[in-house]
Amino acid sequence: MHIADTSIGILGANGIVGGGIPIAGGAALAAQMKKTGQVAICFLGDGASNTTRFHEGVNLAACWKLPVVYVLENNLYAESTCIADVCRLINIADRSAAYGIPGVTVDGNDVMAVYEAVGEAVDRARKGKGPSLVECKTYRYHGHFEGDAMTYRTKEEVEEWMKRDPIPRFRKKLRDMGVLSDKDADKADQEMAAEIDAAVKYAAESPAPAPEEALEDVYAEVTVVKEPAASPGQKMKEITFPQAIHDAVDEELARDPNVILMGEDVRAWGAPLGEFKGLYEKYGPDRVLDTPISETAILGGAIGAAAAGLRPIASMMFCDFFGVCGDELINQLQMRYMYGGMLKLPLTFMAYSGAGLGAAHQHSKNLFGWLMAIPGLKIIAAATPYDAKGLIKSAIREDNPVVLLHHKAIIFSGLKGKVPEAEFTIPLGKADVKREGKDVTVVAIQLMVQRALAAAEQLQAKGISVEVIDPRTLVPLDKETILKSVKKTGRLVIISEEPVTGSAAGEITAVVASEGFGSLKAPVKRVCAPDTPIPFAPVLEKYWMPDEERLIKAVTEVM
């Protein structure tokens, strides 16, 4: 199912209906930016035309006039469902009018009709006139899967369509034109059959992969970056958290022409909270791209652009909206693994997260634990301007997908921090000991870092010395630093702003239980939110969020 050959520009087949549509748009964006003259050809079926990916992907491509041609193979059935039962249009190509692009319907079993229609669409795309939709009306002779009894269609219908098989039709046409003799056609048939037989024989006789190869190609190789060591003469400046985001993205846009920023409201507002303000004016519409409110198209397009050689930064607004592009998260970000390491996905996407501002359940999540369960994805949750800037720069330079969650309360707090005036990066997977202690280890994530430090001050007055560790990145997780601290203190409390079940706190607990159990003098405590959605009323939201009081209680209990 997951076939690909990136050496000749085939970015892969897709097992998800319509899954390749937004990805093709991203690949076309890369061709457009790099001025390669390439055109992305996206194959889809009639069933895919009824998905959100079709609307979001085609609409975005039309808005940006991307060089992409959508070849829709209308074979009348989406699995067992007849297209006439789920679409009121006679010709699906008529949907192109909704996006302001050309759409044409052709006999998909007529080789020359398809060739001419697609050729015209490719030529149009190369001239910068944007995408086209070519609907090829054809038929699927075989079942949707091996063993499909095909009870949803009649034998007579199949036989009637078999009379229109494109291969004998084209063979007859060429013979009638005097271009191809029966002898030459038979020879071509024999050569193709021999080539297929040889390929099957090669596959059958090739050894199976070694079992441990199942662990390869999850991540591309990482160029190790070093965190700058503090020095007395180092020039520093004080900035806010939003300024740290802005400066990191600004510096990377200036450093690498393959870096682009795309997302909702990045032009007029510089993103909803203004962290990208001024970048559109500085770099222009080719580098800073405003998108529709289409999370599927944004992340899917970023994946395609990354696969084709760009380094996109996708601004997704709130992480609560990740569910809209759930397919891209749990199925498409794994392209490198599915295609045997043939490509890299240097993709960064970021979103606001966190409660405390009365934004309620659909604008306040963190999703740490959920995101940690997605293979191939790296996760950053910075708590300070210094960490945010250094980690964002490293993320953009990664050849792997990285998600950054920025807590709204930190952004609005006006929190300032010192950062070097000179360029610096922070390696992913390196925790920071925010406060040293000897009695209890507290691992605090994102906003909870400030609350843990405040609680540690209060506990110090009671004679309890707390070591506060900020993982900074949840994937990769710096297990070594956490285990080393637990070995010293013998006690562990984890504070994370997310429901306790399925949380990052649970994963960190499991790591320590399996690899550092002998160091523990008391059970591990998790200070998380209750297993409920996030309430709106301020008094309920305050009760829901972990705080210093609950952390102090947990630390006291493990002593």
Residues acting as catalytic residues:
363
Give all strands (DSSP E) within 323-373, no chain letters: 348-353
Cα of 536 vs its chain's centroid, Å:
29
Q: State how far the Cα of 23 lies from the Cα of 18, in Å rounded to an integer.
A: 10
* Cα 308 to the center of its chain, rounded Å: 14
Residue 475 · residue 385 · CB < 8 Å:
no
341-367 as b/e: b if 16+ CB within 10 A: ebbbbbbbbbbbbbbbbebeeebbbbb
Dist. CA 491–CA 4, nearest whole Å = 49
The answer for residues whose C-beta is within 8 angstroms of residue 381's C-beta and 6 or more apart is: 366, 368, 404, 405, 407, 445, 446, 471, 472, 473, 474
Q: Please spell the DSSP secondary structure of 376-435, one letter per residue.
A: T-EEE---SHHHHHHHHHHHHH-SS-EEEEEEHHHHHHT-EEEEESS-----TT--EEEE
Q: What are the percentages of helix, strand and coil residues in the chain, rounded to 5?
A: 45, 20, 40
| Terminal-to-terminal C-alpha distance of the chain | 55
Contacts of 200 (CB under 8 A, 6+ apart): none
Residue 52 CB coordination number (10 Å): 17
Can you read off the two tokens belonging to residue 318?
Answer: 């709130």
How many CB atoms within 10 Å of residue 483? 17
Beta strands 466-470 and 432-435, pairing class: antiparallel
